[in-house]
Amino acid sequence: MAARRTAPDDEATELLRTLLIVQLALAGSKQRQICAVARCSSHRVNATLKPLRKLLKSRREEKG
């Protein structure tokens, strides 16, 4: 299956959506709230936040 090409505007929109998801998560918002505000699926939120959760967990372990 060939990769879908996106217009530059779509790429910028997706980048901003990803940043919004990360910022809302860091602010302590629940997953459902993030989905509603960012207007995306819970799968998108999980896929975006999975690396962030791993990073935060490893940093907590280093400090403690």
Predicted model pTM: 0.78
Helix H segments across the chain?
Answer: 8-26, 31-38, 42-63
Q: How many domains does the chain have?
A: 1
Domain assignment present for residue 53? The answer is yes
The one-character DSSP state at 28 is T
Question: Tens of pLDDT along 4-60?
Answer: 666 767 999 999 999 999 999 999 999 999 999 999 999 999 999 999 999 888 988
41 neighbors 35 (Cβ within 8 angstroms) = yes
Confirm whether 14 is domain-assigned: no
Residue 12 domain flag: no
- Residue 40, domain extent: 22-63
